[in-house]
Amino acid sequence: MKQFKTESKKLLDLMINSIYTNKEIFLRELISNASDALDKLSFEAIKNPDLGVDQSTLAIRLSFDKEARSVTVSDNGIGMTKAELDENLGTIAHSGSEQFREANADRQGEDIDIIGQFGVGFYSSFMVATKVRVVSRALGADEAFVWESDGVRGYSIEPAGEGERSGAEEHGTDVILFLRESSESDDTDQYLSEGGLRDLVTRYSNYVRHPIQMMVTKSRQKPKPEDAPDDYKPEYEDYQELDTLNSMTPIWKKRQSEVKQEDYNEFYQSTFHDWSDPARTVSFHAEGALSYDALLFIPSRRPFDLYSKDYEKGLALYSSNVLIQEKCADLVPDYYNFVHGVVDSPDVSLNISRETLQQNSQLRAIARRVEKKIHSELEDMRDNDRESYETFFENFGRGIKFGIYNSYGMKAADLADLLLFWSAQEGKQVTFAEYADAMPEGQDKIYFAAGDSRERLEQVPAVRSALDHGFDVLLCTQDVDEFMFQVMRSWHQDGTEGDSEHEGAKERDLELANVANADLDFATDDEKAEAEKATSEHQELFDDLKESLGDKVTSVRVAAGLGDAPATIASEGPVSLEMERVISQGPDADAASAPKAQRVLQLNATHPVFAKLVAAKEAGDKDRLALLGSILYDQALLVEGLPVDDPVEFARNVAKLM
């Protein structure tokens, strides 16, 4: 018995138990080797037509034997001589396919599509097998040889027995795996069934360019006997038929003009398990120093687990039509995690197991192109199919917003123009550009309000005040909105956004301003003058109210332009009222350490309630003043959608007032 070259036992044990993490890929590796053998024969046939090779008969054949617990992968490819068996299978990490590919690099992808690279895929067989037997006859050779090993003590090479590829036309290779016994942790029985092998082929090798065939059991109705009675019930029988298990030609290799949208829809639904058609389909191809094919789908509906911790983003990555990763997260950024699709490239650098990728410039270059394509498709949908885009944004816009927030605003220049917000003035969704185009002369800010619902925000005094004074307000109801605005700070209009005929369109930076900020004032000059007068005349009233409310507020003041609202709560500093609410409702919220907004109680000096406050102050009734101040504070909180500090006390105070 020959010993493996190199420190075989250590290396083979390390490889079998460490390189591969998923045992079921053994079939992918053996099919890939068989495909390489067929490609080598095809190449020889092209160079030498006298060989008389009928390329239409080239195929990979699978079979299994439950009693012998064996799985066989056969091909009628170029085969191996005794010396090649010794060199290719006896030398770990020697790749005959890689040598062949390097020698014929100018034809790779044209007449041949060699998959093998590292010379270790064959040994993945020992993850599931106790013994592997390889029978191979080289093209034009006089006899076949058998390589056999248990993966531990070495290997042997002997002449093949009678009936084992004995004819000159029987060139090719049989790889026979004798499987381990099944256990709770290692179910090898699944590979001894038609369904088990078909599933592995469909998952990993569906697009290998050669047919992968297997005899399968089918059922058919028996002919009806001539003398069958009137109540005859049809009878069925099982029969065996050679079936092709793989699709061979991947849809992403075809030009978009060659494929009907119905075919894309069918592929999308079956591959990504969605009952809806995609909203958009993007197919593109790149050739040159870095070649790849990509097929992307923007879903029309949000998966139920999109925002759960169990959701996995990523595109399916293939190399030469062989699945490498079902979800390659590096190919798509987090904010486009909803995109499904396939990328197939023979040029990406794989690691030795082909289960993961080496981080390299090729992968990053593909990812950048994918991102640009997605962005371009979304812009086209926004501009030319607004109804569909609004549906898309309702489903996936939160992730795009989080992409801006999570990048600390660095992605704002790329993503901000994809955002949509509800315009309180227009009563519809608008972009930043559309908001800016409609601003009145002299407005230099984009105003927004954040809360849990549009209906409530429309009734907030600050929003009504802005609208009453001619300023539109973006109503933001997602938890990430205000956090995103804080890292953005402003939106840049480059002068070409929106309506090009709008006279006010020019390059400028527009500050993003929360209408609930205490420093924001929409009042007219007359309203401001009236508020200043009330402030100077009733400063002691404000001081008394501040004292009675204690640390609930940082100050009490008059605000102009509040309309019919008696009072409102505003905030100062970096934490707004809405941010406080969102943080307090988080899963890890800690009431003691959570940041609090600096609250300001703003009073409307033109409202009849203010006169009641003044009367209580002039009468020296501190208790009534404190009562009125507490009720006004709690009412203002309720209007803002915030809980009152003490509901029992609030109810008691209302009862006292009544």
Whether 525-657 and 8-217 are alike in CATH topology: the answer is no
CA distance 621 to 397: 53
For the ranges 71-85, 118-132, 224-238, which has the lowest average pLDDT? 118-132
The predicted model scores a pTM of: 0.74
Name every residue whose Cβ is closer than 8 Å to that of residue 304 and which is 6 or more positions away in sequence. none
13 or 517: which leads in pLDDT: 517
Name every residue whose Cβ is closer than 8 Å to that of residue 89 and which is 6 or more positions away in sequence. 122, 134, 147, 149, 155
Q: How confident is the model at residue 502 (pLDDT cuts 50, 70, 90)?
A: very low
| pLDDT per residue as tens digits for the range 304-330 | 888 888 889 999 998 888 888 889 898
- H helix count then E strand count, the chain: 19, 22
Contact between 613 and 568 (Cβ < 8 Å)? no
Structure tokens at 228: 């069958």
Name every residue whose Cβ is closer than 8 Å to that of residue 205 and which is 6 or more positions away in sequence. 27, 28, 31, 32, 212, 246, 322, 323
Residue 114 has pLDDT above 50, yes or no: no
Q: Mean pLDDT: which of 161-175, 201-215, 596-610, 615-629 is highest?
A: 201-215
CA distance 524 to 470: 11
For the ranges 221-225, 343-347, 353-357, which has the lowest average pLDDT? 353-357
Look at residue 116 in the predicted model and tell me its pLDDT.
44
Residue 504 has pLDDT above 60, yes or no: no
Residue 381 has pLDDT above 80, yes or no: yes
By CB atoms closer than 10 A (0-12, 13-18, 19+), residue 425 is middle
Look at residue 173 in the predicted model and tell me its pLDDT.
95
CA distance 532 to 526: 10
Over residues 332-347, the mean pLDDT reads 92
Helix (H/G/I), strand (E/B), else coil: 328: strand
CATH of domain 388-514: 3.40.50.11260
* CA-based nearest residue to 403, from 474, 483, 493: 483
Tell which CATH classification among 3.40.640.10, 3.30.230.80, 3.10.690.10, 3.30.470.20 matches the domain 251-384.
Answer: 3.30.230.80
* CA-based nearest residue to 416, from 428, 434, 443: 434
Longest dimension (CA), the chain: 120
CA distance 13 to 430: 61
Residue 242 has pLDDT above 80, yes or no: yes
Contact between 219 and 237 (Cβ < 8 Å)? yes
CA distance 432 to 416: 8
Helix, strand and coil percent figures for the chain, each rounded to 5: 40, 20, 40
Look at residue 570 in the predicted model and tell me its pLDDT.
84
Domain residue ranges of the chain, discontinuous segments joined by +: 8-217, 251-384, 388-514, 525-657
Pairing of strands 474-476, 340-344: unpaired
Q: How confident is the model at residue 374 (pLDDT cuts 50, 70, 90)?
A: very high
Look at residue 118 in the predicted model and tell me its pLDDT.
36
Look at residue 100 in the predicted model and tell me its pLDDT.
43
- Neighbouring-strand partners of residue 490: 511
Q: How confident is the model at residue 19 (pLDDT cuts 50, 70, 90)?
A: low
CA distance 213 to 228: 38
Look at residue 95 in the predicted model and tell me its pLDDT.
47
Look at residue 112 in the predicted model and tell me its pLDDT.
44
Q: How confident is the model at residue 396 (pLDDT cuts 50, 70, 90)?
A: very high
Name every residue whose Cβ is closer than 8 Å to that of residue 8 and which is 6 or more positions away in sequence. 92, 154
CA distance 484 to 403: 9
Structure tokens at 391: 């549906």
Structure tokens at 486: 């804080």
Q: How confident is the model at residue 353 (pLDDT cuts 50, 70, 90)?
A: very low
Q: How confident is the model at residue 613 (pLDDT cuts 50, 70, 90)?
A: confident
Look at residue 501 in the predicted model and tell me its pLDDT.
46
Structure tokens at 77: 């490819």
CA distance 116 to 32: 7
CA distance 332 to 344: 14
Residue 423 has pLDDT above 50, yes or no: yes
Query: Average pLDDT over the chain, rounded to whole?
Result: 84
Sign of CA dihedral 270, 272, 278, 284: negative
Name every residue whose Cβ is closer than 8 Å to that of residue 492 and which is 6 or more positions away in sequence. 413, 507, 508, 509, 510
Look at residue 115 in the predicted model and tell me its pLDDT.
45
The tokens 């790849």 sit on which residue?
292
Look at residue 651 in the predicted model and tell me its pLDDT.
84
Residues 97-122 as b/e (b if ≥16 CB within 10 A, e otherwise) read bbebbeebeebbeeebbbbbbbbbbb
Look at residue 347 in the predicted model and tell me its pLDDT.
79
Top-tier CATH class for 525-657: mainly alpha
Residue 137 has pLDDT above 80, yes or no: yes
* Region class of 408: left (phi > 0), else alpha (psi between -120 and 50), else beta: left
Name every residue whose Cβ is closer than 8 Å to that of residue 341 and which is 6 or more positions away in sequence. 282, 294, 295, 296, 297, 315, 316
CA distance 656 to 654: 5
457 or 360: which leads in pLDDT: 457
Structure tokens at 410: 């660095």
Q: How confident is the model at residue 17 (pLDDT cuts 50, 70, 90)?
A: low
413 or 321: which leads in pLDDT: 413
Over residues 559-566, the mean pLDDT reads 80
- Neighbouring-strand partners of residue 36: none
Q: How confident is the model at residue 110 (pLDDT cuts 50, 70, 90)?
A: very low
| pLDDT per residue as tens digits for the range 455-480 | 988 988 889 888 988 999 999 999 89
| pLDDT per residue as tens digits for the range 277-302 | 999 999 999 988 888 999 999 999 99
In this structure, how many other beta carbons lie within 10 angstroms of the beta carbon of residue 500?
A: 9
Instruction: Answer whether CATH 3.40.228.10 is correct for domain 8-217.
Output: no
The tokens 């994918």 sit on which residue?
370
646 or 160: which leads in pLDDT: 160
Residue length, the chain?
Answer: 658
Percent of the chain with pLDDT over 70: 87
Residue 355 has pLDDT above 80, yes or no: no
CA distance 82 to 65: 27
Over residues 354-381, the mean pLDDT reads 83
Look at residue 148 in the predicted model and tell me its pLDDT.
93
